[in-house]
Amino acid sequence: MGQPVLPVRTIACCWRSMPIVYTVGDMLLFNMKFIVAGELLVLIALGNQDE
């Protein structure tokens, strides 16, 4: 009776943490897009200054 409790809890914890993982992943992807866009803007600005 005592053995099945641990796997069930582990699965439940993993299942609960999945939305957090997806949210963090979305935030990282969003931040990467923002960083890439910022770098492009900086490169464009530096390119305009050089001219």
Q: How confident is the model at residue 41, as a pLDDT? A: 92
Over the stretch 1-51, which tens digit does the pLDDT of each residue have? 555 566 777 777 777 777 777 788 888 888 899 989 999 999 999 888 766
CA distance 45 to 39: 10
Q: How confident is the model at residue 26, as a pLDDT? A: 86
Domain segments of the chain: what residues? 21-51
CA distance 7 to 51: 64
Q: Residue 27 has what DSSP assignment?
A: H
Q: How confident is the model at residue 40, as a pLDDT? A: 92
Q: How confident is the model at residue 37, as a pLDDT? A: 92
Q: How confident is the model at residue 2, as a pLDDT? A: 54
Q: How confident is the model at residue 7, as a pLDDT? A: 74
